[in-house]
Structure 1
Amino acid sequence: MRSTRRAATRGPGRAGPLERVAGSLVLAWGWRRALAAGLAGALAALSQAPIHAFPVLWIALPVLVFLLDGAVETADGGRGSRWRAAFGIGWSFGAGYFLAGLWWIGSAFLVDPLRFGWLLPIALAALSAGLGLFTGLGTVIARLLWTDGPARILALAVGLWISEYLRGHILTGFPWNALGYGLAANDTLMQAASLVGLDGMTLLAVLIFAAPAAAAGGGRAGLATAAAGLALFAAVAGFGVWRLPAQAVAVHPGIRLRIMQPAIDQSHKWKPEFRDEILARYTALSTAAGADGQGLAGVTHLIWPESAFPFLLTYEPEALRQLADLLPSGTILLTGAIRAEPPAPGESRTRYFNSIYVIGENAAILAAYDKAHLVPFGEYLPAQDTLEAIGLRQLTHLRGGFTPGPGLQTLAVPGAPAMGPLICYEAIFPDAVVDARNRPEWLLNVTNDAWFGLTPGPYQHFHQVRLRTVEEGLPLVRAANSGISAVIDGYGRVISSLKLGQSAQFDAQLPVSLPATFYSEHRSNAFWLASICMLCLVLIRARRLS
């Protein structure tokens, strides 16, 4: 800290370029400091999909370090003013990061603009400002641990690691675009997630990309820290090169999947006049002749995306008859669907579930999974009675919203290994992917990203799903209404896929699973291990101050 402040006061002839930049940022104040932090956050968002420009983090995070160096006590504010300044810097960085990285969420409000369009600017402002609170908390924690010299890089890593962990767990959790995804930019770099998971990737990302800040006025120790950051990056890349095999993963013999991507317009999906057209589109696309000209012959598993039917399937005998006619003997349909149950005791409303059905011969429903992690304001409305009184509704066209399911399950699928189902945004939560008591051999993710059109959102969603396969060592099959549909192996490599917005289907084989990864077996210990490390840092800092 003092080293960069000394750099700020040196004559221009004595300071190098990095020290001059550091000095100007350390001395920034008021709106200039907030603007610099916000722009650095927006720059950091370019590290996320679909751009994956992770080198920008070598600029954005050192800027954050230098700004925090300048978060000092004022003459009239005492030590609390330092923490308020640190919070303001972190909040501005986070608000810029989330606004630049999540602006596409506003597209969902334009599907039905007459009802929801007015909410778009309010929602984006509230989301960016609210998520920025977590980053502000992270920089306050970092500032509590702040020391002179290179150790402040570790302080920032611990602070942001804690804030990102909390962002993924508090209330319903929202770990979208965690900093760790920026480091996991390609097949090679993402392999480290098999050891440390998303939270560990976030910790590594801050240590690696913030390290150059230590070189500004830090002497030999600062240069050594910057070099250590580069060495850590090389280690992450080297591990990825070592782990990735040159050959493709083996596949299960006798299994042929057909994955559907109908690209149905979201504005049509729930309108009654399009019901017959939508079902006809699914059946026509399913039976479109493959490369061998045999249609569904030889297809063992047909996979449709989330909420494929614009009606309650079990209430529609004619639709069930059409499915029975569609499926040849031995072909299993795995599909998203809305499921209904009578009201629970003491309730008056029918309960609706966002589900996956396993459908066999004669359209018999063999198994079902109900989505447990629902999207707030999308699939249900928190404090519904209160918010509806002021005119708010959830985005789905379902009065009362969905009911959450019981949680993780492993489903038996005829003709295939046991499967772990994930519906839409359930796949972004690394701690809630598989039932550890009954580990599946593959994952199925059905989703509908048509809400967000051709924006970065579906690409970010897809990238996060890929990291789940690396963490677990499990292949994943993904059917999305508008994309991106794909088959991914246990290394996160895309074997086959369809482009975003494309209406098509493709056939693929099912890759075999890998042995359970270190992360999948030890994830429960990660938070406590990091907490102990943080406590040690606090104790060391307290000892220095005593």
Structure 2
Amino acid sequence: MTPRTSPTQRALAAGALGLVSATGFAPLGAWPLTIGALAGLLYLLTQARSARQAAALGWWFGFGQFALGLNWIATAFTYQAAMPAWLGWLAVLLLAIYLAVFPAIAAAIAWLASGRRTMPLIFAFAGVWPLTEWVRATLFTGFAWNPLGVAWIGLPTAQAARYVGTYGLSALMVLAGGAVLAAALRKPGTTAAAAVLPLALSLTPTPAARDTGRAIHVVQPNIDQDARNHEDYAYNGLLKLARLSGRPAAGAPARLLFWPEAAVEYYLETDRLAREALTDLLRPADLLVTGGTRLERDDRDNVIGARNSLFVMDARGRLLHRYDKAHLVPYGEYLPMRALLSPIGLSRLVPGDIDFWPGPGPRSFALPGFGKIGVQICYEIIFSGHVVDRANRPDFIFNPSNDAWFGGWGPPQHLAQARLRAIEEGLPVVRATPNGISALIDPAGRLLRTIPTHRAGAIDTTLPAPFAATPFARFGNLLPLVVALALLAIAAIARRSKRG
């Protein structure tokens, strides 16, 4: 791009770079392209003549990244009351329009802080970007899907998440892009300064995980979302889950049986016969951990709400614990402003006539013979720093989910986020889904066992032991905040030294 390039051409280039950057996320995993795309965006920002132009470049970059990276949302929308496909793609574009505001803000602030100089710009952008990701994950209930840092998953650099968290990894991705730009511009000092932190943290060792010897059995029944509309789904689905669960031979060790989110259609708290049927799968020391639904009623016994819940049941049919999902999906589990939107026909955006109600947040429960379990239902697992009860640290996290309506890109992206939570917290993660991707993840984020999408099966293995509490487990998102502020301080020093 030359100084004569028009703003429209630069905007289109930024949008194209955003599209390229999205290929670094699962399922493609082309992380070098993400780094290259960030280098291209940083170069465009050096050519911007005002904060407004910088914001426009950041917005177009973000729009391209989110429009491609979140394409699975189009599929999710079509499951809502048989919405037409075009409406699903409209939802993707509208969401991308909103989410692109955060890269726009990051670009504008970085440009203002840099004095249009390359080194200050790189460090300012690396400092501001994770801050805007944190705001994106928090504002209006938050949407923390696909932070830049998740593109490191599967690489040694991802292990640094135990020290700097996911948002710190996002800063490293921007720095890596800055190092590429500085190298292309033949600025060796800036190249070295930008590259030192990503390179150093890429040397973070991957610890070895120990085994607890505690037997677990994770079931994936391969039930598509459409099957839930059939009248006989509750019964047939339960039969399929039971068949895949089996019953261990006498003398086998006690096992912890995991079923997916909303696996049981019967209301376990009130349906004694359903609980009795499930006890046939359990020997005296076994436990069943399954997703289900809990209804909320008023004084006249009218149903006024529901909970997306997880239940722990023993071999006597007793419900030992219940967890209610706290971070609900807007337009998926509840309709914001229902009183306003329902009269104009937009209640079709969510299934059912009542909303799910949120629970109190992360909780840990003691399971006799199996340690303490922490639960994050479905997309709760994507919120870095908010997945465990820090006052009562669990021994592992269970992430029951229903990714059946997430298209082809959603399930592997969801799995990548779960792997980062394992690294951050130093805890194993168990995932059970109706049709993929179910997995056992060790506390270093390694995939020990998986069941691919659209395949029925079970994971029959033992549970890894947790690591000692990581720095991130102790301090949470305070650590990436320190990283961001340090990078901004370096940007300020670099700008001042250039002036001198």
Matching of residues 421-500 of structure 1 within 5 Å: 421-453=375-407, 455-500=408-453
Counterpart for residue 95 of structure 2: 127
In the alignment, the residues of structure 2 paired with residue 27 and residue 69 of structure 1 have an alpha-carbon distance, to the nearest angstrom, of 14
In the alignment, the residues of structure 2 paired with residue 442 and residue 160 of structure 1 have an alpha-carbon distance, to the nearest angstrom, of 31
In the alignment, the residues of structure 2 paired with residue 542 and residue 428 of structure 1 have an alpha-carbon distance, to the nearest angstrom, of 38
1:383/1:534 CA distance change after superposition, 3 Å: farther
Please say if 1:224 is aligned against 2:189: yes
**1:28 Cα deviation (Å)?**
2.6
Contact 2:81–2:349, Cα closer than 8 Å, also in 1: no
Q: Deviations over 1:4-25 (max 9, x none)?
A: xxxxxxxxxxxxxxxxxxxx25
Counterpart for residue 178 of structure 1: 147
Of residues 40-49 and 397-406 in structure 1, the stretch that sits farther from structure 2 once superposed is 397-406
Task: Note the residue ranges of structure 1 that are not aligned, 5 or more in a row.
Answer: 1-23, 73-81
Q: Deviations over 1:175-200 (max 9, x none)?
A: 21111112x23152210101100111
1:528/1:113 CA distance change after superposition, 3 Å: closer
In the alignment, the residues of structure 2 paired with residue 494 and residue 335 of structure 1 have an alpha-carbon distance, to the nearest angstrom, of 22
| Corresponding letter in the other structure for 1:272 | E
Counterpart for residue 37 of structure 1: 14
In the alignment, the residues of structure 2 paired with residue 504 and residue 287 of structure 1 have an alpha-carbon distance, to the nearest angstrom, of 11
Counterpart for residue 311 of structure 1: 266
1:475/1:114 CA distance change after superposition, 3 Å: closer
In the alignment, the residues of structure 2 paired with residue 415 and residue 99 of structure 1 have an alpha-carbon distance, to the nearest angstrom, of 46
Q: Which secondary structure does the structure 2 equivalent of 1:302 belong to?
A: strand
1:144/1:394 CA distance change after superposition, 3 Å: farther
What's the RMSD between the two structures over aligned residues?
A: 2.5
1:234/1:341 CA distance change after superposition, 3 Å: same
**1:395 Cα deviation (Å)?**
5.3
Q: Which has the larger radius of gyration?
A: 1
Q: Which secondary structure does the structure 2 equivalent of 1:272 belong to?
A: coil
In the alignment, the residues of structure 1 paired with residue 68 and residue 158 of structure 2 have an alpha-carbon distance, to the nearest angstrom, of 23
**1:341 Cα deviation (Å)?**
2.8
**1:228 Cα deviation (Å)?**
3.8
**1:316 Cα deviation (Å)?**
3.0
| Corresponding letter in the other structure for 1:276 | Y
In the alignment, the residues of structure 2 paired with residue 342 and residue 493 of structure 1 have an alpha-carbon distance, to the nearest angstrom, of 43
In the alignment, the residues of structure 2 paired with residue 317 and residue 396 of structure 1 have an alpha-carbon distance, to the nearest angstrom, of 30
Among 195, 207, 216, the alignment partner of 1:244 is: 207
| Corresponding letter in the other structure for 1:233 | P
Please say if 1:279 is aligned against 2:279: no
Q: Deviations over 1:225-245 (max 9, x none)?
A: 223444433322212xx3333
What's the TM-score once normalised by structure 1's chain length? 0.86
Please say if 1:107 is aligned against 2:79: no
| Corresponding letter in the other structure for 2:207 | L
In the alignment, the residues of structure 2 paired with residue 525 and residue 119 of structure 1 have an alpha-carbon distance, to the nearest angstrom, of 39
In the alignment, the residues of structure 2 paired with residue 341 and residue 523 of structure 1 have an alpha-carbon distance, to the nearest angstrom, of 34
In the alignment, the residues of structure 1 paired with residue 304 and residue 396 of structure 2 have an alpha-carbon distance, to the nearest angstrom, of 33
Q: Which secondary structure does the structure 1 equivalent of 2:289 belong to?
A: strand
Counterpart for residue 58 of structure 1: 35
Counterpart for residue 67 of structure 1: 44
Q: Which secondary structure does the structure 2 equivalent of 1:363 belong to?
A: coil
**1:57 Cα deviation (Å)?**
2.5
Of residues 112-121 and 457-466 in structure 1, the stretch that sits farther from structure 2 once superposed is 112-121
Q: Which secondary structure does the structure 1 equivalent of 2:257 belong to?
A: strand
Counterpart for residue 370 of structure 1: 324
1:527/1:389 CA distance change after superposition, 3 Å: farther
Higher relative contact order (CA 8 A, sep 6+): 2
Q: Which secondary structure does the structure 1 equivalent of 2:138 belong to?
A: coil
Contact 2:59–2:100, Cα closer than 8 Å, also in 1: yes
1:207/1:532 CA distance change after superposition, 3 Å: closer
Among 247, 265, 270, the alignment partner of 2:224 is: 265
Higher strand share: 2
| Corresponding letter in the other structure for 1:36 | A
| Corresponding letter in the other structure for 1:226 | T
In the alignment, the residues of structure 1 paired with residue 118 and residue 376 of structure 2 have an alpha-carbon distance, to the nearest angstrom, of 45
Among 298, 304, 310, the alignment partner of 1:350 is: 304
Give the % identical residues: 36
Q: Deviations over 1:340-385 (max 9, x none)?
A: 232389x975331101100012221111000000011111111111
Contact 1:360–1:366, Cα closer than 8 Å, also in 2: yes
Contact 2:18–2:64, Cα closer than 8 Å, also in 1: yes
Among 121, 125, 138, the alignment partner of 1:156 is: 125
Q: Deviations over 1:227-273 (max 9, x none)?
A: 3444433322212xx3333xxx22113x2111000111101224333
Matching of residues 11-22 of structure 1 within 5 Å: none
Task: Note the residue ranges of structure 2 that are not aligned, 5 or more in a row.
Answer: none
Matching of residues 351-430 of structure 1 within 5 Å: 351-393=305-347, 397-430=351-384
Contact 2:247–2:281, Cα closer than 8 Å, also in 1: no
Contact 1:212–1:225, Cα closer than 8 Å, also in 2: no
In the alignment, the residues of structure 2 paired with residue 296 and residue 447 of structure 1 have an alpha-carbon distance, to the nearest angstrom, of 32
Contact 2:120–2:492, Cα closer than 8 Å, also in 1: no
Matched pairs, number: 498
